Amino acid sequence: MTIPQFHQIAWLPDQAGVRILDQTLLPREERRLDVTTIEQMAEAIRTLRVRGAPLIGIAAAMGSTIAASNGLVSFLEACDTLEATRPTAVNLMWALRRMRERARRAAGAGQELRAAVIAEADAIWTEDRTLCGAIGRAGLHLVTDGATVLTHCNAGALATGGIGTALAPVYLAQAAGRKVRVIAGETRPLLQGSRLTAWELTRAGIPVTVITDSMAASRLRQGDVSCVIVGADRIAANGDVANKIGTYGVALAAREHGVPFYVAAPYSTFDAATMHGAAIPIEERAPGEVREFHGHPSAPADVPVWNPAFDMTPAALIAGYVTDRGLLTAKELGRLG
């Protein structure tokens, strides 16, 4: 098996912009968009054309360079615009903080500034590929031959610059010749599990079964799930985790049925400045995402909707954190700071 490469992001020729895989169109269409303005990149992140905590950090870093030719002030304003697109995933803030720091250290303006920030964006992208590999190796022993892994949302290659976070151990297990299968929760309301996780695993030749979110507890009750591995959008200092809405329910069901629940993420997702999960800002998205399904009404047009994009899973429900620094407990997360 070859580790998957989906070309989810790339530089345009002469690094004049960024080419992204439009993930809102998957699985029915594989189309790439050329992003050449800050407004286009902000829209792509906001509307989930590019998504996944690590990947939006990479995309924002690469996209911010578009403004560098206009000088430092323009570049910093671009970073502010991109940072405001999504409030929960800390990788976005982390990457843009790195970009601002590198820009301020640049010796000159114009082309010198542009070269400096392009190099930093490249470094962030390259580092993420390395971190994904390290996460895969740290969690490889969790995915034994014959294992069934349940996951929620998409924390695979489509969500990162490399082979993913939660799916990285799965890909390495398959590459090592182990038989492994995945159960993917569909992840309402935008179906990142059924649209994206199932798409990339199928492309990689890994058996995957899609279930609705409401089926997760019943499937865990059957006793054939070896472990649950999910990604993260932010990990608080005490180990509480913000991840795609529905993760908390899966964690509760896993605890009830004695199935270990793991969170896979790079050090850039750890937020030492946020002490606990209640302090993590949770993005609320448009009601139409719930009132409609594939453009067709699925609820009365005027019915109130509560649509948080993420929920918080307390550290007490998490068996371990699969990181680029190894498999850690909540008390060991300080190593990531």
* pLDDT band at residue 2 under the 50/70/90 scheme: low
Tell me, yes or no, whether 37 and 109 share the same domain. Answer: yes
Last residue of a domain, one of 133, 153, 182: 133
Last residue of a domain, one of 92, 112, 133: 133
53's tokens: 């905590």
Stretch 58-83: mean pLDDT, rounded? 96
- Per-residue pLDDT tens for 236-263? 999 999 999 999 999 999 999 999 999 9
pLDDT for position 294: 78
**Judgement on whether residues 293 and 145 belong to the same structural domain of the protein:** yes
- 156 and 286 fall within a common domain: yes
Residues 210 and 122 in one domain: no
144 and 120 in a common domain: no
Catalytic residue among 233, 271, 311, 324: 233
The yes-or-no answer on residue 34 being catalytic is no
What average pLDDT does this structure show over 216-220? 98
Query: Residue 88 has what pLDDT?
Result: 97
pLDDT tens readout for residues 200-216: 999 999 999 999 999 99
Q: How many domains does the chain fold into? A: 2
Q: Are residues 76 and 176 in the same domain?
A: no
- Mean pLDDT across the chain, nearest whole number? 96
The answer to whether residue 185 scores a pLDDT higher than 50 is yes
Quick check: is 4 in a domain? Answer: no
> Is residue 36 one of the residues assigned to a domain?
yes
pLDDT score for 5 = 73
CATH code of residue 85: 1.20.120.420
Structure confidence by residue, pLDDT tens digits, 255-286: 999 999 999 999 999 999 999 999 999 999 99
CB-facing half-sphere around the CA of 42: CA atoms within 13 A:
15
- What is the span of the domain harbouring residue 219? 138-336
Query: Per the domain annotation, does 16 fall within a domain?
Result: yes
CATH number, domain of 272, equals 3.40.50.10470
pLDDT in tens, 23-41: 999 999 999 999 999 999 9
Assess whether 122 and 266 both reside in one domain: no
Mean pLDDT across 141-165: 98
The structure's pTM equals 0.96
